[in-house]
Chains A and B, each alone.
Chain A
Amino acid sequence: MSASESKAPPDAVPLWRRPRLRGWLLQALLLAAVLGAVGLMFGNALDNLARQGIASGFGFWDQPAGFGINTTLIEYSETSSYGRAFLVGLLNTLLVSAIGIVLATLVGFVIGVARLSPNALIRGWAYAYVEVIRNIPLLLQIFFWYFAVLRPLPGPREAISLFDLAFLSNRGLQLPRPLPEQGFGWLLAAFLVGIVAAVVLLRRGRGGGRWWWSLAALLLPPLAVAALVGWPLGWSVPELTRFNFRGGMALTPEFVALVLALSLYTASFIAEIVRAGIQSVRRGQREAAAALGLPPGLTLRKVVLPQAMRVIVPPLTNQYLNLTKNSSLAAAIAYPDLVSVFAGTVLNQTGQAVEVISITMAVYLAISLTIAALMGWYNRRQALVER
């Protein structure tokens, strides 16, 4: 700036020379352009849909769906609405993701720790597991597990029976289903009271005798309730009919294959994350623990892992998100998840691709953001608090 300009009062500086204002203006322009473009595309899409005679809007939501779904966590029939079908698919996605995340974490931590085992055999197997599993496409693994689970199993009539209560066949694993009867709520409440009492006794008590006291506290309340109201729990046992088993509950081959493939695949990535996390903890920490006389198992649980978690959690979140999104491959093996039911059958029957795909994307986004938020909260709790 020249001397004459710097003397001028601030009002005299032209608008476009003020960096702050210019910055705001440019950002406002960009925002307007982005909003305009989105609005244009939206309006254009609606316009085109209307001109091509394609129905639009969300009127289909309450229409009867008219197709069946084989795995439902909630009541569903062919006369239920498309909205209900959406809910069924969503719950199935959440179910498979939740179980997959738990299993993948367990297997991943075990393999990750095994990767650093002093035993060469264990180390080698863990290494082989990681390298083989993470380098084969997930879809192939899903097909592999599906047909690997399906092929060797006998048909329902030759099902492998366990005491005539559970049956294993190529229709899945049939298990007895608990049927709560009158007074079941009381039993459940008594059970909870028992658990709380047992824990309190364990924590407060001293000496070997407290184990017996807490066991008694655990068992007495439910037994007392059972003695009062009778045993309020029946069982629906699967029985073979002409084609299939009726009654009980079933783990379908699709579900088992999908959970296996998803969790084993993701576990191979988690194992590497865990290994990296453990290796990030300084040697001195282990040596200090050893010097204090801590056994190796305790050192791992109380010294190494808590410090490793700070490195592990952020990339672990990525793997959880991946697993959830990968669960959409379920459509390939007929597990009725959100993509299969909603972005598949519902989309095809209604033909409303724009609406259905938008909803599906929004749902995955919401699930992913929720997982990320939970993991973020956990990460903040784990983080070092610096003063």
Chain B
Amino acid sequence: MATRHWLPLVLLALSTCGSALAGPTLDAVKQRGYLKCGVSQGLPGFSTPSQKGEWTGLDVDYCRALAAAVFGDAGKVRFTPLSAKERFTALQSGEIDILARNTTWTSSRDTELGFDFVGVSYYDGQGFMVRKELGLNSAKELDGATICANAGTTTELNVADYFRTHGMKYRPVVFEKSDETVAAYDAGRCDVYTTDKSGLYAQKVKLKDPAAHVILPEVISKEPLGPLVRQGDAQWFDIAKWTLFALIGAEELGLTSANVEQQRKTSQNPEVRRMLGVEGKLGQALGLPGDWAFQAVRQVGNYGEIFQRNLGGAPLNIERGQNALWTQGGLMYAPPFR
């Protein structure tokens, strides 16, 4: 194609280029000196600014772990808050290096949008919240209800599918930002607020009177949430993927932020030694320092610690459920480190 001859020039002119070449993301991140991570505009438990102005949450901690793996310093990450609508364009255009924004892994996003999903950091499903005074017990009683939801989410489509499947009617009221969605629900514009169940628990805390609302038992969809990267950079994809596995693997192997230093020196378990860079060249194969996983676990903690810190404790008190390790009846499972 003739345009290829012009590519060097265009590379200078348009920043959209270059992202598809092999391995440039890691170089760009290293050269820049920090990681650019896209998160939500404020979803408690996943990514939300604390009162001190620091970002906290499961997605935030994953990005911190990734920064620790790349730089050996979990602080070298900057967060870009994105609406559901903006998030994909931000990643496609190279505005961010990784998107960790409670995003559902679906086939069309993985293929048509030009992304690769790194894995699942939280197994979720969509649910409904209603006022207690309506006296509802099941989502099947929602025929004719007005439903508040967020624009540009799988939620919007799942509701449509669910109501169609059950031959019910509904009226959608779709907002761009989740804050407005919740405010409108709170003001009585809608009978139902729908989003992923974790989000329902998180937003319920923000309502004027949380005790006046109830979350219906139905889970109407599978929502595997996880980070994603641009397609075409296999090295960066691997780094992001194995950082997530390292956090899960660390919990499987009993490594925590408190004991990982000790374990690195004393452990005789070959898998622990390989993962922490005592044996083998795992880090080198990824293009990272040998202690990448060690730094991630030491500075951020394993998956269980991250979960407990952000979701399991007060005020959300979400149970591990499907997000427990596979050895404890959950779905969290890391491939072997060898």
Q: Are A54 and B92 in contact (CB-based, < 8 A)?
A: yes
Interface hit among A181-189, A328-336, A363-371: A328-336
B257 within 8 A of A: no
Closest chain A residue to B11, Cβ basis: A44
Which of B152, B174, B187 meets A150, CB within 8 Å?
B187
B7 contacts across to A, CB distance below 8 A: 44
Whole-angstrom distance between the alpha carbons of A252 and B134 in the complex? 22
| 1/0 contact string of A76-96 vs chain B (CB within 8 Å) | 001000000000000000000
Q: Which residues of A contact B173 (CB under 8 A)?
A: 70, 254, 334
Judge whether A170 and B187 touch: CB under 8 Å: yes
- Interface residue? A43 (CB, 8 A): yes
Contact string, B79-105, partner A, CB cutoff 8 A, digits 1/0?
000001100110010000000000000
Give the residues in chain B near A171, CB-CB below 8 Å.
146, 189
**Is B113 part of the binding interface, using a Cβ–Cβ cutoff of 8 Å?**
yes
Q: Is A349 an interface residue (CB 8 A)?
A: yes
* Residue in contact with A347 in the complex, picked from B152, B159, B189, CB distance below 8 Å: B152
Please indicate the chain A residues that have their CB under 8 angstroms from the CB of B180 in the complex: 143, 332-334
Which residues does chain A contribute within 8 Å of B160, judged by CB atoms? 66-68, 78
Distance in angstroms between the alpha carbons of A344 and B170 in the assembled complex: 20
Whole-angstrom CA separation of A45 from B159 in the bound complex: 35
Q: Is the beta-carbon distance between A68 and B170 smaller than 8 angstroms?
A: yes
CA distance A48 to B4 in the complex (A): 11
Q: Whole-angstrom distance between the alpha carbons of A351 and B181 in the complex?
A: 23
Chain-B contact segment, one of A115-123, A240-248, A278-286, A375-383 = A240-248
Pair A48/B20 contact, Cβ less than 8 Å: yes
Contact B187 A47 (CB under 8 A): no
Flag A228-248 by CB within 8 Å of B: 1 or 0 each.
Answer: 000000000000011110100
Which residues of A lie under 8 Å from residue B232 when comparing CB positions?
A: 51-53
CB pair B188 A155 closer than 8 Å? yes
Q: Residue of A at shortest CB range from B88?
A: A351
Q: Is residue B114 contacting chain A, with contact meaning CB distance below 8 A?
A: yes
Residues of A contacting B171 in the complex (Cβ-Cβ under 8 angstroms): 68, 70, 244
- One of A45, A47, A332 near B176 (C-beta < 8 A): A332
Q: Contact check: which of A41, A241, A350 meets B112 at CB < 8 Å?
A: A350
Chain A residues contacting B16 (CB-CB under 8 Å) are 45, 48
Are B19 and A53 neighbours in the complex by a CB distance under 8 Å?
Answer: no
- A147-B188 in contact given A47-B3, A345-B151 (Cβ < 8 Å): no
Interface size on B, residues (CB 8 A): 59
Bound CA–CA A69/B173 (angstroms): 8
Q: Is the CB of A340 within 8 A of B151?
A: yes
Give the CA-CA distance A78 to B153 in the complex, in Å. 15
Smallest beta-carbon distance A75→chain B, Å: 15
Instruction: Enumerate B1-23 residues with CB–CB distance to A below 8 Å.
Output: 1-4, 6-7, 10, 14, 16-17, 19-20
Closest to B14 in A: A44
Question: 0/1 per residue, B203-219, Cβ < 8 Å to A?
Answer: 00000000000000000
Cα distance A284–B108 in the bound complex, in angstroms? 72
**Using a CB-CB cutoff of 8 Å, which residues 119-176 of chain A contact chain B?**
143, 147, 150-151, 153, 155, 170-171
Contact: B146 with A243, CB < 8 Å? yes
Residue of B145, B176, B191 ringed by the most chain A CB atoms within 10 A: B176
Residue of B nearest to A79 (CB): B164
Chain A residue at minimum C-beta to C-beta distance from B157: A66
C-alpha gap A127/B249 in the complex (Å): 69
Judge if B235 is at the interface, Cβ distance under 8 Å.
no
Top 10 closest pairs, chain A to chain B, by CB: A348-B152, A54-B114, A351-B113, A52-B114, A55-B112, A78-B160, A68-B172, A53-B114, A51-B20, A243-B145
Can you name 9 A-B residue pairings with CB atoms under 8 Å? A51-B20, A70-B174, A151-B187, A244-B191, A344-B151, A348-B152, A348-B153, A349-B152, A351-B108
Q: Give chain A's interface residues, CB within 8 Å of chain B.
A: 40-41, 43-45, 47-49, 51-55, 66-70, 78, 143, 147, 150-151, 153, 155, 170-171, 241-244, 246, 253-254, 331-334, 336, 340, 344-345, 347-351, 353
List residues of chain B with CB under 8 Å of any chain A CB. 1-4, 6-7, 10, 14, 16-17, 19-20, 84-85, 88-89, 92, 108-109, 111-114, 141-146, 148, 151-153, 156-157, 159-161, 163-164, 170-177, 180-181, 183-184, 187-189, 191, 230-232
Besides A334-B184, A349-B157, 5 more A-B contacts (Cβ < 8 Å) are: A52-B231, A67-B172, A150-B188, A334-B173, A340-B174
